[in-house]
Structure 1
Amino acid sequence: MASRFLPSRSMGFALAAGCLLFSALAAANVRPEDLSVSEIEEQLQSCPLVESLNEHKRASAPETASFTAQIFAVLFPGSPAVNSLLATLYISGPPNFLLALCPPNIDPSSLSVMVAFAVGGLLGDTLFHLLPEIFLGEDSPDHVSFVMVEPNKNLLLGLGIMVGFFTFVAMDKTLRIATGGEGHDHSHGHAHAHAEIEPTSSTTSAETKTESHADSLKQRRSTTSSSEVSVVPENKEKEINPSVKLGGYLNLIADFTHNITDGLALSSSFYASPTIGATTTVAVFFHEIPHEVGDFALLIQSGFSKRKAMGAQFVTAVGAFLGTFIGIAVQEFGGNGSMVDAPVSGIWGTSLTWGDMLLPFTAGTFLYVGTVAVIPELLETGPNKGVEIRKTITQFLAVAVGAGIMLAISWD
């Protein structure tokens, strides 16, 4: 048992408090193994040394809430269920309305800086907020907290993270198989979409190169002819490749499923604590902007009109609300993260409930989206070394800003 609050000599305080606790229990003829985790925590709070730690913590706490805490209090004023629904509305509405400002011919590769910023936010939220909350719990503003190490509890939490990670691996693999190995990603289809634009023009260019190798005397003429042919599709309606159309529709299905996991993430984080919920909302919001714009560009390339593409994105946003309702139901009926009364009545003999497993699942999905699904896009380079070096520096700065925002919120 270790203390999470460290004013000074905290380990000695924790051991002394534990000794006093077990001495008091022995005097009352109560065995520690007969108590639940929450009852042990309650007994610890009554120890004299722990009470002095609580007084020190309350005395050193700031008298007024931080600016970010005040903003979060205004944005999320209700219960965990209400706050989860509000957060889902925040991450679904504004990014989709921004699509009205996007030109239909937007280049998905131009979003690399925004994608890098979103990566920093997602990984920052995972490493600074979700993982500490999963294994240590949320700090209380009123009293010190202790961590009870249970057999196999951390193993189950790690298993939940792994299940979340490989759930997205399976989704990504399934979509790649369905699209014939074209490389569409469920969460960032725009990363590969630009490679499929104008297949007719690329085919014409390849044929022109073949002809130029066959007859060197006609190389200049064939080059001129290819440049003239490339102008024609701009004035005529381009024929959409069937595989690109299929990729667009499959991307909608994958986007809907991805939004469900976003809703699960928001609900599980708000039931963990208001701070974790608010920071997760910020991370998902910044991730959704390049996500939605990239999917919008992919739908345009798949033959959708701008109005139909926007409508399709609003339909997929319903998935976020569906995931939020599912998460709320799991938390309310499967346990909302509070410790159960009996030490062995949880999952596989631990104090964990099924509601406690949603946050590890969320961390696993964020790790996948922030690394495997996006990092390869940031690793893409072009032939111009000077341009790529400047682009790389900008991307790393964007990642640092995104992670720095999450760190500042957590520190504050």
Structure 2
Amino acid sequence: MDLIWDAFVESVAGALVSASATAVAALVCLPFGRQLRQGGSLWSRSLNEVGRGFAAGALLADVALHLLPSCFAEGVHETHRSDAHGHKHSYTASGGLLLGLFTFFLLEKLIQWLQLVPVNANANHESSKRKERQTPSSSSVATVGWLNLAADAVHNFVDGMAIGAAFLTQRRIGITTTVAVWLHEVPQEVGDFLILVQAGFTPMRALFLNLVCALSAVGGTVALFGVYWTIGHERESFVQKAAPEMLEAMRSRVLPFAAGGLLYLATTSLMAQMQSMPPFYSSTGGGTKPLSARQQHAYRSGWQITGLVGGLVSILGVEHLL
């Protein structure tokens, strides 16, 4: 029992270390927080485009290079063999992915509905029309932030489970897993911070909310040990045999859901914003001169692609190191 208690304490400490990646990301991004929220200057607009691209690239790379391979890796999956075409289907992974996409679609609809501002029936008709036109736009921007927080919390919860299972198996494996999770979380948390700031949160509030979501890793560790103490503490062979199987069973259901949520956020929210064409101005001399449509498109696309490549390279570099 003492060994299991030691593993629990070490796992919680490892989860807290992984959550510290949020602070590292904040140190990188906080100096640019004010510029990211401003939209008047050419510098702030360019930084905004790079930040949005980096966030989308990091999320897509995280899903493609980390989450999806883990979801569809061989393990404890519910499969079905079809004699007609002779191959196996992993309904647990693919079904969880679809469930995550659909759930986050409904969640976005719910958040938008909650943020709608009721219009006074006795108000001026033109004022009412103006409020109706403004409400969906402002709510959709804020929705991106809340969706990102939800997906990030699920993702960190799974990471906490992985850290707990690693320490249950062996202390050395737990330490290496904690280091791997921390390295992977730094670029991910940079992208999360950029998303929240661009969604309208102040830099300090974005840091606080990101930190709260990062602490869900501790919840994942506690949940894993809770299941262990509930069903497996009387079996001496549980650490060597049952713990990895239990982790795989939980990951095979939670991880695809997180992947679906992050994929929805990156594609339908972030990349949809990147495809929009808001007014873009370049300061020249004593005033501002609007750029032509093609200049706007080329300018914004260049910064967005730079951010996308940066987010992709950051995750790819971490995956290569690990």
What's the TM-score, normalizing by structure 2?
Answer: 0.60
2:314 aligns with: 405
CA contact (8 A) 2:18 2:178 kept: no
CA distance in 2, matches of 1:391, 1:80: 44
Shift of 1:131: 1.6
1:368 aligns with: 264
CA distance in 2, matches of 1:250, 1:148: 35
- Within a 5 Å distance, the mapping from 1:3-402 to structure 2 comes to 81-92=12-23, 94-95=25-26, 98-99=29-30, 102-103=33-34, 106-107=38-39, 110=46, 111-136=48-73, 151=79, 154-180=90-116, 257=150, 260-268=153-161, 270=163, 273=177, 277-278=181-182, 280-295=184-199, 298-299=200-201, 309=202, 312-313=205-206, 315-317=208-210, 319-334=212-227, 341=242, 352-382=248-278, 384-402=293-311
CA distance in 2, matches of 1:269, 1:176: 34
- Closer/same/farther in 2, CA of residues 319 and 330 from structure 1, 3 Å limit: same
Q: CA RMSD in A?
A: 4.5
> Which structure has more helix as a fraction of its residues?
2
1:381 partner SS: coil
Residue deviations 1:59-112 (CA, integer Å, cap 9, x gap)? xxxxxxxxxxxxxxxxxxx95543332222221565289547643861285412
CA distance in 2, matches of 1:181, 1:121: 33
Shift of 1:315: 4.7
Shift of 1:133: 2.2
User: What amino acid sits opposite 2:79 in the alignment?
Assistant: P
CA distance in 1, matches of 2:154, 2:135: 29
Larger radius of gyration: 1
2:277 partner SS: coil
CA contact (8 A) 1:252 1:316 kept: no
- Closer/same/farther in 2, CA of residues 404 and 251 from structure 1, 3 Å limit: closer
Shift of 1:352: 4.8
User: What amino acid sits opposite 1:133 in the alignment?
Assistant: S
CA contact (8 A) 1:161 1:363 kept: yes
Shift of 1:128: 1.4
CA contact (8 A) 1:95 1:288 kept: no
Shift of 1:172: 1.2
Aligned residue pairs, count: 253
CA contact (8 A) 1:124 1:402 kept: yes
- Closer/same/farther in 2, CA of residues 154 and 291 from structure 1, 3 Å limit: same
User: What amino acid sits opposite 2:19 in the alignment?
Assistant: T
CA distance in 2, matches of 1:292, 1:99: 12
Shift of 1:250: 8.2
Residue deviations 1:229-267 (CA, integer Å, cap 9, x gap)? xxxxxxxxxxxx999999999888767645533532542
CA contact (8 A) 2:147 2:265 kept: no
Residue deviations 1:354-409 (CA, integer Å, cap 9, x gap)? 35433222222221222122110111125621231232133223212321332233
CA contact (8 A) 2:99 2:257 kept: yes
User: What amino acid sits opposite 1:122 in the alignment?
Assistant: L
CA distance in 2, matches of 1:253, 1:384: 32
Shift of 1:282: 3.0
- Closer/same/farther in 2, CA of residues 314 and 328 from structure 1, 3 Å limit: same
- Closer/same/farther in 2, CA of residues 83 and 99 from structure 1, 3 Å limit: same
User: Does 1 or 2 have the higher relative contact order (CA < 8 Å, sep 6+)?
Assistant: 2
- Closer/same/farther in 2, CA of residues 369 and 92 from structure 1, 3 Å limit: farther
CA contact (8 A) 1:116 1:395 kept: yes
What's the TM-score, normalizing by structure 1?
Answer: 0.49
